[in-house]
Structure 1
Amino acid sequence: MIFHSSHFWHNKFFAFKIMHFSQIRDFFYERGWKREIKELYLSLGILRLAIAMVAVFEPIYLFNVFGSIPWLLFYLGLLFLALFFIYPLGGKFVCRFGFEHSFAFSIPAVFLYFVVINLLAKSLWFLAPLFVLSIIYKILFWPATHSNLAHYGDQQKRGHQYGLFSGVIRATRIVGPLLGGLVLYFFSFKVLFVVAATISFLAIFPMFSTKEEFASGFFPYKKCFLRIRDAYRPYKRKFFLSFLGFGEEIVSIMLWPLFIFLVVRNYASLGGIVSISSLFALFFSLYIGKMVDKRDKRGKKTILSFGTALYALLWPIRAFLTTVWGVFGANVISANLTQVVYNPLVAFAYQKGDERGHLKYIIFLMMGIAAGKALMCFLLLLLILVFGLNWYLIFGVAGLWTLLYLFL
């Protein structure tokens, strides 16, 4: 069914228009975009499809390997603590070899990650190479991807371009979890990892369709930490505190899927819930991106504050959900609210990068995210060791942690 543009509702904060087909088409086919952006989206779509097939089921797999949530949190805490100190080295690599080469080098790391994680069930000795591969992927993929998008993108369309970036990821989450769930339903994790590894390998080809024009430079390691300590413009301390808010993703990405699985008890159902939720969130993420671009600084802040408040309130409610429809509804709402929060926040980081250099600010952002996730892991670990596994407490902490976004 195709809707014509008309006002659906209007209030102080939002003026939402139902999109005509031509508007939806324009979201995906921007005119005048640079080759680097188009190649990025194609490779990103392939790679994230492979990751999406595994991502929602990986917490369950790792939980079975570790045998408990505290050990899982301890591992993740160490991982993100290491990333906090190693992300600047990723910045050095990206600055030296370029966005496309850094992105391309992250792809073999993902391929090998799927190979090694398949062996983890046989021996925990494979945890060490898995740890290293995860770090290599993250310090190359995220700085290169965000810097590429910020550097080659249109400065007047930051929100829309991140909305499309998020839309590409959401699109893979429509197909990926459902396929992954079906593979697990009919086969096993071993088959799932083999399929994901094969798909991930294909992502390397679009990045080398043409040669990247990139001038290598120097990226100082120590200054990354001085920006946090000294907090000079545009690296304000309140911005770093806002980036710490991404620590809630430890709960939303790692623990929430576990909770859903405890309710549905079926891999295919879990994959279906995530896929359908992503379908609802896909076009909403694109709309939010357009809306962010049309707002001034105060308007962007209003969008972020509105989304953060609703998202924070949703967290403690999740602990009371014990039915399939309950967790499905919460996941749909959550998938949409995260776009209201993440889009203006990341668009802000891109805009700040225009002032002092995109890669510098992206590393500042990624260090804040890593620090927030490490702190969340160790906080939850402490609370579980003291009070036991309590979903009311875990989701309540996630809701409070989400409020850090308001420091922006």
Structure 2
Amino acid sequence: MNGHHEDTHLLRYVLNKKELTELYVSAVLRVLAFSMIGIFVPLFLFKELGYSLNFVIYYYLIYSFAFLIFTPIGAKLTNKIGVKHVMLAGMPLYVVYFILLYLLRFNPSLFILVPLIYGAAEGIFWIAFHIDFSLFSEKKKRGKQLGRFYSFALLAGLVGPMIGGVLLTFSGFTVLFIIVSLLILSSAVPLLFTKDIKRNYKISWNFLTAGSFKDLVSYASLGAKIMVSIVFWPIFIFAILQLYVAMGSLFTFLGVIGLIVVNVTGRLSDVFDKRQLIRWFAWPNAFLWILFIFVRTKLELIIVSVFSSISGTGMSVPFNALAYNKSKGKVEYFVFREFGISIGRIIVLLFVLWTGNLASSFLVAALASLGYMLL
């Protein structure tokens, strides 16, 4: 009887490990693709296409609302067609997004459709990813497994910004869009190696009761920081560095530092109290976001960015490990989480739209860093 139990446990371990490996490889290819272009999209809109900061904000507001709407739809679809099929459905949507983004230069009427497609792709992909990871990761090793995922992602993302910067400098956005689209399609291949299983989830649309108000605020804080990091911070950095290659090189350098921090905090979050680790990094990170407001030179930018990367990455691993633990594998909680993230994105976008000052987003990011401690 014990032998049968051990065999079953071993089989589950092997299957889970295979599923996680498959998920890692797919996610890493996707991260490589987006690391090549992600930080440059706001600049494509702002610098290359000549949109004002307000219109860049409108673009990401449409994206955020689309993400909000399509997340519960993606959750419902995992019950109908399977988790992997939902993730796979997002891949062609990403390619369509990049094609339309390229065509936006020639057809401004696509302005609403482009971020709408992007938000739909992100909404259905990430909810499926979180469900898949929660099912096949182990609670006691989740910090280490998340750290491993972050390490692989950062490793792939190390070369991405620099490659993207070089391609933009010598070839332009057209070549970059093509390469990124091919990488995204290739990220679908690893998901085909294991069978997709339709799991009989009981998904309720009343997902707002899945977590506490404090949880909601903490996820809104995460969403606000994400939006500042992918929209306002890259524009701010480019204003100082003035070169795509220099900007890509800086992000690659920060990725190296992040890789070291992730490996350390991933292991620490399985040993020490996760909330304590978050507190250790949250206060310095909040202070550093405020410092960005006063940064004017390249040297100041590099110094503050390095310490901001250390503290930001340091609190992200225990924060996400804690989030997966709190979910207890419930789909409603992941929808609740993504809802909070979307709300945070929308709040910071509306705040900068109201102030008309890009640097005001750094104040929101500082407050958001402290919001991590509420989880």
Provide the TM-score with structure 2 as the length reference.
Answer: 0.91
- Choose the corresponding residue for 2:121, options 131, 137, 143: 137
Distance 1:272 1:85 in 2: 35
Contact 1:242 1:404 in 2 (8 A): yes
1:242 alignment counterpart: 218
Q: Which amino acid aligns with 2:212?
A: K
Aligned length: 361
Whether the 8 Å contact between 1:77 and 1:375 is mirrored in structure 2 is no
RMSD: 1.9
Counterpart of 1:102 (choices 86, 96, 101) is 86
Selected match of 1:179 from 156, 163, 167: 163
CA-CA distance at 1:218 after TM superposition:
4.3
Q: Is the 8 A contact 1:92 1:220 kept in 2?
A: no
Aligned partners of 1:390, 1:149: CA distance in 2, in Å? Answer: 35
Equivalent residue, structure 2, for 1:365:
337
Identity, in percent, stands at: 25
Whether the 8 Å contact between 2:154 and 2:259 is mirrored in structure 1 is yes
Task: Give 2:7's aligned residue.
Answer: none
How far did 1:32 drift?
A: 8.1
Question: Residues 9-408 of structure 1 correspond to what in structure 2 (within 5 A)?
Answer: 34-64=17-47, 65=49, 67-221=51-205, 223-225=206-208, 227=209, 235-246=211-222, 247-295=224-272, 299-354=273-328, 357-384=329-356, 389=357, 391=359, 393-408=360-375
Measured at CA, do residues 132 and 74 of structure 1 come closer, stay the same or move farther in structure 2, by a change above 3 Å?
A: closer
Deviations 1:258-296 (A, max 9, x none): 11111111000100000111011112112211100112x
Aligned counterparts of 1:32 and 1:310: Cα–Cα separation in 2: 40
How big is each residue's C-alpha offset from its partner over 1:28-85, in whole Å with a ceiling of 9 and x where there is no partner?
A: xx98852111111111111111111100111101223362112211221232134334
Deviates further, 154-163 or 31-40: 31-40
SS in 2 for 1:235: coil
Name the SS for the 2:291 alignment partner: helix
- Separation of aligned partners in 1, 2:184 and 2:358: 36
Q: Distance in 1 between matches of 2:235 and 2:162?
A: 16
Question: 1:6 maps to what in 2?
Answer: none
Structure 1 pair 286/95, CA: closer, same or farther in 2 (3 Å)?
A: farther
Moved more, 253-262 or 210-219: 210-219
Instruction: Look up the match of 2:6.
Output: none
Residue aligned with 2:294, SS: coil
Q: How much has 1:124 moved relative to structure 2?
A: 1.7
2:133 partner letter? L
More deviation, 47-56/135-144: 135-144
Higher deviation after alignment, 327-336 or 204-213:
327-336
Distance 1:372 1:39 in 2: 31
| 1:379 Cα deviation from its structure 2 partner | 1.3
Q: Is the 8 A contact 2:158 2:252 kept in 1?
A: yes
Question: What secondary structure is seen at the aligned counterpart in 2 of 1:57?
Answer: helix
Using the size of structure 1 for normalisation, the TM-score is 0.84
Q: Which consecutive residues of structure 1, in runs of 5 or more, have no partner in the other structure?
A: 1-29, 228-233
- Deviation for aligned residue 1:182: 0.5
CA distance in 1, matches of 2:296, 2:14: 47
Structure 1 Cα separation of the partners of residues 183 and 296 of structure 2: 35
Instruction: Output the CA distance in 2 between the equivalents of 1:213 and 1:242.
Output: 32
Q: Which residue of 2 aligns with 1:23?
A: none
In 2: Cα distance, 1:390 partner to 1:86 partner: 28
Amino acid at match of 2:349: C
Larger mean CA deviation between 115-124 and 308-317 belongs to 115-124
In 1, Cα distance between equivalents of 2:84 and 2:146: 18
- Runs of at least 5 residues in structure 2 that lack an aligned partner in the other structure: 1-12
Residues 384-403 of structure 1: per-residue CA shift (max 9 Å, x gap)? 1xxxx362x33223212332
Q: Deviations over 1:184-204 (max 9, x none)?
A: 111101111111111211111
Does the aligned pair in 2 maintain the 1:281–1:332 contact within 8 Å?
Answer: no
Distance 1:325 1:190 in 2: 32
CA distance in 2 between partners of 1:196 and 1:82 (Å): 22
